[in-house]
């Protein structure tokens, strides 16, 4: 960074403001070591410079490998970027202002990486430029990603031009192509705007639930679910690093992992993440896993992405009825291989032949406007086809309007030699009789079919009351196993009479959805020796239904997460969020912190709630149908400014994570901007800052 001639002539003995150099000399470096960015300072009067260890680490050096000299750092700038950086520095020095520039710098191994630098020039007591303090940010991945997006956009635009040239002779055809090109451009713009949001929303669900489980888990069974949830979160974290999968695949640069994983467990956890949206729409869910092979080698994250995209698509376009996920795995003639058939069926709106023919094309949106009913990037099914083909398989669709759709993915994967399910089946293969208690006959039949496949006979019973009547009318002829579906439970359920009518060793299991309030049944399960299973059931969990209840010897109380509030203080937090999964996570996190949560699903509802019962704090989503979070915040602040509403903090909690998004939140009147997935400790810290009174 160049010297300003006017600065070089300044007096060496001028008063210099308090600087970071003094802090560094005092070895007070905890602040600098905790920052992601590199901090630097330069004294324009004495010529001294200091670069934090983090600054040097960004360039690949340890603290003692790179001297604290301006030229040692400046010499690493790319020659093509040096002039612009110098000009920025000169202007800022002359005007005593803040400067910012983006440039390439060589790191220790000789390669160049992109960085962004921001600095401020401070005067001394006489008003002369004296101190420069700045920060260095590594933006290499962001710049490369932007270039990849531009390349992909150029490829797509070239395709549009080629198609247009072939139809240019006919005016009517040319007009149709023009409209198609405009729609494609709009779809691409929508893709770029929503990609980060659409990836962070499911990630927030996975990691949020995982954090709640870590804080509240009592025993080994809950911690087993937790391990699967953690795997899901780690996989989705990888998705954020590969946000340009589609562009990379088009250019042949997408690499798949080869790793062992439990296909059945992965499928179950993926389906569980959709349960809140399924419950909200009143849909039924079916799951089946056929075959004794569950351990395979492939890219677990990409397999999860295939299942999630197909399930999300099915749920989106199904207003009533069912969504079913079936996975069938069988050995192949090839040594160590297995054939995997994945089916997702729904009873939704279906498709005509023309739609089915183009449904796997990129950027297809049935509702492309800004106010569209269904969210998404328009890439879900095209990504499924892309990944299936990269895995050596393919995907097909079969549908008729009004009769639902079926999507089938067929893959040839590597089977792991060690198959725990086979050993489990061999150890527990026996016959018995099970009662399946469910008001929904179809749901009960689905589970009965799976039990019949492992040698058990079944009987469907509508509810616990009916089961008790059967037991009392036919003493001694009860079942060997009882499974109680969530829909068979009610406030009047008499578990005591049920357990009294059964033999003492008969296992009883409550089959619940992931978002069921376990607190309502926890005491009853302990008192009446019942187990809890979370739907859907994987093959190993299906066998676990048949085993007697065993007390968890590793039970531990949950860690205390409550904020240190005064005894008479019970702050309320209003969550403004339209996503059902995120509503659950935010509500449970807030409750775990000892606060009183309330949830609304739109900006309009937030306005009514705040005016009716003003909260102590608001967590505000940004992207919502109707009135978005920014407009809602502006209106609330206007009411507070007029005295019609008492003041309270408003904090953004959103999947929009760019710096411009944060600036927009603050400009709208918010006090803080948190991005999803939010960590429980991070939420605890931020809420504590705004809700805990300062101690004198």
Which residues 6+ apart lie within 8 Å of 369 measured at CB?
none
Does residue 408 or residue 242 have the better pLDDT? 408
Residue 451 CB-half CA count within 13 A: 24
Q: pLDDT per residue over 194-209, tens digit each?
A: 565 566 666 666 776 6
Residue 269: per-residue pLDDT: 86
Pick from 95-109, 237-251, 677-691: least confident: 237-251
The model's confidence at residue 297, banded by pLDDT at 50, 70 and 90, is very high
DSSP string, 368-388: -STT-SS-S-S-HHHHHHHHH
- List the 508-512 sheet strands across, edge first: 456-461, 432-437, 481-485, 508-512, 530-534
Average pLDDT over residues 100-115: 94
Pairing of strands 508-512, 481-485: parallel
Average pLDDT over residues 591-608: 92
Average pLDDT over residues 636-663: 89
The answer to whether the CB of 618 falls within 8 A of the CB of 573 is yes
Average pLDDT over residues 477-490: 88
Q: pLDDT per residue over 211-226, tens digit each?
A: 666 666 666 556 656 6
Which residues 6+ apart lie within 8 Å of 329 measured at CB?
263, 289, 290, 291, 292, 293, 294, 296, 338, 339, 340, 341, 415
Residue 194: per-residue pLDDT: 56
The answer to whether the CB of 497 falls within 8 A of the CB of 488 is no
Q: Closest by alpha carbon to 320, among 376, 400, 402?
A: 402
Q: CB count, 10 Å around CB of 384? A: 25
Residue 647: per-residue pLDDT: 95
Pick from 18-22, 165-169, 475-479, 653-657: least confident: 18-22
Does 155-415 carry CATH code 3.30.565.10? yes
The model's confidence at residue 563, banded by pLDDT at 50, 70 and 90, is confident
d(CA 112, CA 103): 10
Residue spans of the domains in the chain: they are 5-138, 155-415, 429-544, 572-691
Residue 489: per-residue pLDDT: 86
Fold of 572-691: Rossmann fold (3.40.50)
CATH code of the domain made up of 429-544: 3.40.50.2300
Residue 193: per-residue pLDDT: 44
Does residue 494 or residue 19 have the better pLDDT? 494
Residue 550: per-residue pLDDT: 54
Residue 367: per-residue pLDDT: 41
Average pLDDT over residues 273-297: 88
Does residue 567 or residue 234 have the better pLDDT? 567
Assess whether pLDDT exceeds 80 at residue 453: yes
Query: Is the preceding omega at residue 677 within 30 degrees of 0, hence cis?
Result: yes
Assess whether pLDDT exceeds 50 at residue 552: no
The model's confidence at residue 169, banded by pLDDT at 50, 70 and 90, is low
Task: Work out the mean pLDDT of the chain and round it to a whole number.
Answer: 81
Judge whether 429-544 and 572-691 match in fold: yes
Say if residue 625 is exposed, middle or buried (CB neighbours under 10 Å; 0-12, 13-18, 19+). middle
CATH number of this structure's domain 5-138, picked from the four choices 3.40.50.2300, 3.40.50.12780, 3.30.450.20, 3.20.20.150: 3.30.450.20
Q: How many residues does the chain have?
A: 696
Phi, psi (degrees; rounded to nearest 5) at 675: -110, 145
Which residues 6+ apart lie within 8 Å of 523 measured at CB?
none
Integer CA distances (angstroms), 132 to 46, 84, 245, 566, in order: 12, 18, 41, 44
Say if residue 368 is exposed, middle or buried (CB neighbours under 10 Å; 0-12, 13-18, 19+). middle
Q: pLDDT per residue over 58-72, tens digit each?
A: 999 999 999 999 999
Does residue 653 or residue 582 have the better pLDDT? 653
Assess whether pLDDT exceeds 80 at residue 589: yes
Assess whether pLDDT exceeds 90 at residue 583: no
Q: Which pTM value belongs to this model?
A: 0.49
Query: Is the preceding omega at residue 208 within 30 degrees of 0, hence cis?
Result: no
Residue 559 zone, left/alpha/beta (φ > 0; ψ -120 to 50; rest): beta
Cα angle 461-463-468, degrees, rounded to a multiple of 5: 85
The model's confidence at residue 677, banded by pLDDT at 50, 70 and 90, is confident
Does residue 555 or residue 615 have the better pLDDT? 615
Does residue 508 or residue 19 have the better pLDDT? 508
């Amino acid at each position: 960074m160049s010297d300003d001639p006017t600065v070089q002539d300044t007096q060496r003995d001028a008063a210099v403001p308090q600087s970071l150099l003094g802090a560094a000399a005092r070895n007070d470096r905890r602040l600098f070591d905790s920052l992601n960015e590199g901090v630097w300072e330069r004294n324009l009067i004495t010529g001294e410079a200091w670069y934090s260890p983090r600054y040097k680490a960004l360039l690949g050096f340890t603290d003692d490998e790179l001297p604290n000299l301006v030229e040692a750092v400046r010499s690493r700038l790319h020659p093509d970027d040096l002039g612009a950086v110098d000009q920025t520095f000169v202007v800022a020095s002359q005007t005593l202002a803040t400067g910012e520039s983006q440039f390439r710098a060589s790191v220790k191994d000789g390669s160049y990486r992109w960085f962004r630098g921001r600095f401020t020039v401070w005067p001394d007591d006489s008003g002369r430029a004296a101190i420069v303090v700045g920060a260095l940010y590594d933006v290499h991945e962001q710049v490369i990603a932007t270039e990849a997006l531009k390349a992909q956009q150029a490829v797509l635009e070239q395709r549009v031009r080629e198609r247009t040239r072939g139809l240019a002779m006919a005016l009517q055809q040319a007009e149709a192509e023009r409209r198609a090109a405009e729609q494609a451009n709009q779809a691409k713009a929508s893709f770029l705007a929503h990609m980060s949001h659409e990836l962070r929303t499911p990630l927030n669900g996975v990691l949020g639930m995982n954090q709640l489980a870590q804080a509240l888990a009592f025993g080994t069974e809950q911690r087993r679910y937790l391990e699967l949830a953690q795997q899901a979160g780690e996989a989705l974290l990888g998705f954020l690093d590969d946000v340009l999968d589609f562009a990379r695949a088009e250019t042949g640069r997408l690499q798949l992992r080869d790793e062992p994983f439990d296909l059945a467990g992965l499928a179950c956890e993926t389906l569980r993440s959709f349960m809140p949206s399924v419950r909200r729409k009143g849909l039924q869910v079916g799951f089946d896993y056929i075959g004794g092979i569950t351990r395979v080698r492939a890219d677990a994250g990409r397999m999860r992405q295939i299942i999630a995209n197909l399930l999300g698509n099915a749920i989106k376009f199904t207003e009533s009825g069912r969504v079913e996920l079936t996975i069938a795995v069988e050995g192949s003639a090839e040594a160590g291989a297995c054939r995997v058939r994945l089916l997702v069926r729904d009873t939704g709106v279906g498709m005509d032949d023309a739609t089915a023919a183009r449904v796997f094309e990129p950027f297809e949106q049935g509702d492309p406007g800004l106010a569209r009913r269904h969210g998404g990037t328009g890439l879900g099914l095209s990504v499924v086809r892309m990944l299936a083909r990269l895995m050596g398989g393919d995907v097909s669709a079969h549908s008729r309007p009004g009769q639902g759709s079926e999507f089938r993915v067929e893959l040839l994967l590597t089977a792991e030699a060690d198959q725990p399910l086979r050993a489990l089946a061999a150890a527990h293969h026996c016959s018995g009789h099970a009662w399946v208690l469910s008001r929904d006959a179809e749901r009960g039949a689905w589970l009965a079919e799976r039990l019949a496949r492992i040698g058990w006979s079944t009987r469907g019973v509508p509810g616990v009351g009916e089961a008790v009547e059967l037991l009392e009318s036919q003493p001694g002829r009860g079942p060997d196993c009882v499974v109680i579906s969530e829909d068979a439970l009610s406030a009047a359920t008499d578990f005591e009479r049920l357990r009294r009518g059964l033999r003492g060793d008969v296992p009883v299991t409550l089959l619940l959805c992931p978002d069921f309030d376990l607190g309502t049944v926890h005491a009853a399960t302990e008192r009446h020796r019942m187990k809890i299973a979370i739907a859907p059931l994987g093959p190993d969990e299906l066998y676990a239904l048949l085993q007697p209840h065993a007390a968890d010897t590793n039970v531990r109380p949950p860690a205390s997460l409550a904020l240190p509030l005064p005894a008479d203080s019970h702050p309320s937090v209003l969550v403004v969020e339209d996503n059902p999964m995120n509503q659950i996570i935010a509500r449970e996190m807030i409750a775990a912190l000892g606060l009183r949560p309330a949830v609304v699903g739109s900006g309009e509802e937030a306005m009514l709630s705040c005016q009716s019962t003003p909260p102590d704090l608001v967590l505000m989503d940004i992207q919502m149908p109707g009135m978005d979070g920014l407009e809602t915040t502006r209106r609330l602040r206007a009411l507070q400014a007029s005295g019609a509403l008492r003041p309270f903090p408003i904090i953004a909690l959103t999947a929009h994570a760019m710096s411009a998004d944060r600036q927009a939140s603050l400009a709208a009147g918010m006090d803080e901007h948190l991005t999803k997935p939010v960590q429980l400790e991070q939420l605890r810290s931020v809420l504590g800052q705004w809700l805990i009174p300062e101690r004198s």
